[in-house]
Amino acid sequence: MTALPGRTEKSLGLVIDLDTCVGCQACAVSCKEWNSASGSHAPLADLDAYGAAPAGTFLNRVHSFEVTPPEGPAVVVHFPRSCLHCADAPCVTVCPTGASYKRAEDGIVLVDEAACIGCGLCAWACPYGARELDGAERVMKKCTLCVDRIYNDALPEADRVPACVKACPTGARHFGDLADPGSAVSRLVAARGGFDLMPEQGTRPVNKYLPPRPRGPSGQAPLEPLAAAAPGGFLGWLDRALDRL
Amino acid sequence: MHPAVSIILFTVLSGAGFGLLALLGTGAAGRPAGWAAFVPFALGLGLAGAGLVASAFHLGRPERALRAFTQWRTSWLSREAVLAAATFAVVVPNAAASVLLARPLPGLGWAGAVLAVATVGSTAMIYAQMRTVPRWRHWTTLAVFLAAAAAGGTLLAGLRWPALAALGLLGIALAAHWRAGDRPLGRAGQDAGTATGLGALGRVRPLSPAHTGGSYVLKEMVHVVGRRHARRLRLLAFLLAVVLPAALVAPGWGGWLAFAIAAPLHLGGMLAARWLFFAEAEHVVGLYYGRG
Ligand code: SF4
Ligand code: SF4
C-alpha cells in the first residue's frame, strides 16, 4: 500500500559524519557486496563490467566536494549519498503498484521486487537520486537499511548493523533509532548540529548529516609554530653547523 | 530528464485521441450514426489505445502492468491507468451503439467525455506533481496537456472555430511553459551548496563525481540538451503544432483536406514539443553532479 503510515514506532536510519568520512568508498563496496550476495533479493547488476562502458547498480554513491570558506584554504568534503528513509517519502506515494512502501514499525522504505513494474516514477520523485532501476532485473533497487542484517538472528550481534556502517574504517556512519531522543544517534545529531538534505523538498528525511568541524586557524600551516622554535641539543648544533656552510 | 520515445508517443497520441473522444461524447461534432460514426470513433480509440500500448514499452516489467490499477488513492499514474480503462469501458459501448445500431447514447457519451478529460489531466499531474523537477511543477504543465488534447481533438474532428480557439490556447500555454521553465535551478536559489547543506561553510564545487562509469540516475535524470539546439526545436515545434495548423484551417481555405494536412502537422509539432518537455527538464539530483 503506497499510503504513508501516519507515524512510525521507530525511525531507523543513519547519521553520516562529513567530518570524518575520508571518501574511501568502503561503504559503497560493502553495500554492493552484501546486496548482491546476501540472497535476500536479486543481485545488483553490473553491465558491460569488462567492456568499454561499464555501469552498474549501486545503492550508495560517495561524491567529493570542495568547500572554499570566505577566509582560509579550501577543504575537501566527501559526501556519501543513499536513501534517507524519508518520513514523507514522495517515492512511495507515486508508486502505482504498491511495490514501494514505508514500514509502520521501523520507518524503513522498501521495494517489493515481485510487485514492481519498473515504471521508474519513484526514482523521478526522489530528490536524492537514491533509487536505481536495475539494468538486469528491470525492477527498482534501493537501500534497505540492510533489513536482512539488522534483524538477522543468524548473525553475531555485532554484525546486526547495515553493511556500510560495519565497513566504514573511520566510524563515519552511525545506525540507530532517530525517533528516540535518547538514542546515541539522536544525541550525536543534537551535539553536532546534524541537518537534513534539501529540506525545501518537504521529504522530512530520517537520515541526518553532521557538518565538517572548523579546521584550525585559517591560513596557518599546522607545523609552522614547531618550526619557529629554535631547537637545542644535537639537532640545534646540526642546524647551526649546516647554516654556517 | 531522459526523453523516452515510448512516453513521448504515448502522451501525444493518447492526448489527441482522448481529446477527440471527449468531443464525440459531448456531441460538439454532432452525433454521427452508422458508418459515419466509424471513422471518428476508430480514430479516437485507435490513437488513445496506441498511446497506451506505447507506454507499456517504458516499463521494465510490462507483464505486471495490471498491478498499476491498485494504488489510485495516492498515485497519479495509477489514477491515469484506472481513468483510461474507465474511458474505454464507457466509450466502446457508445461507439458500438452509434456505428452498429445507428443509435448514439448521449448519456454514455457525456460520461466518456468527462472521463477522457480526467485521463489527460491525470497524465499531466504525473509530471506536475514532481517537486524534484521545477520545470514541470507548474500550472502550465496541466495547461499544455489539456490544450494539446483540445487542439488535437478539434483538428481531428474537423471543427474550424473550436480548433482555432484550442490552438490559440495551446500557443499561449506552450509559450508560458517555456518562459516559466527558463528560470534555471540556480536562480531559484538551489545549487551544490543547498543540495549538500555545506553552503553555509563556503563556496561548494563538485570535485570528483561519485563514479566514473554511467548510472541509471545520470542517464534518466541528468539529460543535457544544447541550448541553441533547444531554441531551434522550440521554434519548429511552435510552427508545426500551432501556427501552420491554425493557418491551414483558418476561414477562406479548403475543407476536410486542410484538416487532413493540419492534424498530422500538429501531432508532429507536439512530438517535438513533448521531446523538449522532457529533455529540457532539470532534476534536482543534478545538483550533486554540478548540473542545474
Ligand atoms: S531518500 Fe529518496 S528513495 Fe529514500 S525515502 Fe527519501 S525519497 Fe524515497
Ligand atoms: S518502479 Fe516499481 S517501485 Fe518504483 S514506482 Fe514503479 S512500480 Fe513502484
Q: How many DSSP H helices and E strands does chain B contain? A: 11, 1
HSE, side-chain direction, 13 A CA sphere, residue B230: 17
The C-alpha atoms of residue B209 and residue B285 are separated, in whole angstroms, by: 13
pLDDT band at B228 (very low <50, low <70, confident <90, very high): confident
Asked if residue B277 has pLDDT above 90, the reply is yes
Quick one: B116 and B198 in the same domain?
no
- Our CA dihedral for B231, B232, B237, B243, rounded to 10 degrees, sits at 100
Query: Among A41, A97, A133, A134, which is best to mutate for testing ligand 2, by the most ligand atoms less than 8 A from CB?
Result: A97
Quick one: B100 and B170 in the same domain?
no
Closest CA to A173 of A17, A13, A31: A17
Quick one: B49 and B116 in the same domain?
yes
Quick one: B5 and B121 in the same domain?
yes
What range defines the domain where residue B267 resides?
A: 158-292
Q: Which of A58, A65, A195 sits opposite B204 (nearest CB)?
A: A65
Q: Examine residue B51 and state whether it is found in any structural domain, yes or no.
A: yes
HSE, side-chain direction, 13 A CA sphere, residue A151: 9
| Residue B268 CB coordination number (10 Å) | 16
Write the Ramachandran bin of B136: left for phi over 0, alpha for psi from -120 to 50, otherwise beta. Answer: alpha
Q: Which domains does chain A have, with CATH numbers?
A: 12-210 (3.30.70.20)
| pLDDT score for A72 | 83
Quick one: B195 and B72 in the same domain?
no
Residues of B in contact with A77 (CB under 8 A): 196, 198
Quick one: B10 and B71 in the same domain?
yes
Residues of A in contact with B190 (CB under 8 A): 200
The C-alpha atoms of residue B159 and residue B146 are separated, in whole angstroms, by: 17
Q: Examine residue B138 and state whether it is found in any structural domain, yes or no.
A: no
Q: Examine residue B17 and state whether it is found in any structural domain, yes or no.
A: yes
Q: What is this structure's pTM?
A: 0.91
Q: Examine residue B149 and state whether it is found in any structural domain, yes or no.
A: no
| Alpha helices for A22-175 (secondary structure H) | 26-37, 90-93, 121-125, 147-150, 163-167
The C-alpha atoms of residue B150 and residue A62 are separated, in whole angstroms, by: 47
Q: Examine residue B261 and state whether it is found in any structural domain, yes or no.
A: yes
The C-alpha atoms of residue A118 and residue A131 are separated, in whole angstroms, by: 11
Looking at the complex, report in whole angstroms how far the Cα of residue A117 sits from the nearest Cα belonging to chain B: 5
pLDDT one-digit tens code per residue, B46-87 = 999 998 888 888 999 999 999 999 999 999 999 999 999 999
pLDDT one-digit tens code per residue, B182-218 = 876 555 678 899 999 999 999 999 998 889 888 999 9
Please check whether residue B80 is in contact with residue B119, taking contact to mean a CB–CB distance below 8 angstroms.
yes
For B214, the closest chain A residue by CA position comes to A55
HSE, side-chain direction, 13 A CA sphere, residue B130: 30
Please check whether residue A34 is in contact with residue A163, taking contact to mean a CB–CB distance below 8 angstroms.
yes
Q: Does A184 touch chain B (CB under 8 A)?
A: no
| pLDDT score for A174 | 98
Quick one: B217 and B287 in the same domain?
yes
| pLDDT score for A201 | 95
Which helix (H) or strand (E) covers residue A216, if one does?
A: none
Quick one: B66 and B2 in the same domain?
yes
Terminal C-alpha separation, chain B: 12
Residue A1, classified by CB atoms within 10 Å of its CB into exposed (0-12), middle (13-18) or buried (19+), is middle
Quick one: B120 and B19 in the same domain?
yes
Q: Does A196 touch chain B (CB under 8 A)?
A: yes
| pLDDT score for B216 | 95
* Complex-level ipTM: 0.94
pLDDT band at B154 (very low <50, low <70, confident <90, very high): very high
The one-letter amino acid at B61: R
Please check whether residue B283 is in contact with residue B132, taking contact to mean a CB–CB distance below 8 angstroms.
yes
Q: Does A95 touch chain B (CB under 8 A)?
A: yes
The C-alpha atoms of residue B77 and residue B59 are separated, in whole angstroms, by: 12
Q: Examine residue B202 and state whether it is found in any structural domain, yes or no.
A: yes
Q: Which of B61, B131, B285 sits opposite A129 (nearest CB)?
A: B285
Asked if residue B222 has pLDDT above 60, the reply is yes
Note down pLDDT in tens along chain A; length 245 residues: 678 998 899 999 999 999 999 999 999 999 999 999 998 899 999 999 999 999 999 999 999 999 999 988 899 999 999 999 999 999 999 999 999 999 999 999 999 999 999 999 999 999 999 999 999 999 999 999 999 999 999 999 999 999 999 999 999 999 999 999 999 999 999 999 999 999 999 999 999 999 999 876 655 666 666 666 667 788 888 888 888 87
Looking at the complex, report in whole angstroms how far the Cα of residue B175 sits from the nearest Cα belonging to chain A: 25
Q: Examine residue B136 and state whether it is found in any structural domain, yes or no.
A: no
Q: Does B6 touch chain A (CB under 8 A)?
A: no
| pLDDT score for B189 | 75
Quick one: B7 and B72 in the same domain?
yes
Q: Examine residue B271 and state whether it is found in any structural domain, yes or no.
A: yes
Dihedrals phi, psi of A133, to nearest 5 degrees: -75, 125
| pLDDT score for B190 | 86
Quick one: B169 and B292 in the same domain?
yes
Q: Which of A119, A123, A198 sits opposite B58 (nearest CB)?
A: A119
Which of B6, B10, B67 best tests the A interface by mutation, with the highest count of A CBs <10 A?
B67
- Name every protein residue with a CB atom under 6 angstroms from any ligand 1 atom: A 83-86, 89-91, 109, 126, 128, 130-131, 142, 203
| pLDDT score for A221 | 62
| pLDDT score for A215 | 76
What sign does the dihedral B239-B242-B245-B250 (CA atoms) show?
Answer: negative
| Alpha helices for B27-105 (secondary structure H) | 35-56, 76-100
For chain B, how many structural domains are there in total? Answer: 2
Please check whether residue B48 is in contact with residue B138, taking contact to mean a CB–CB distance below 8 angstroms.
no
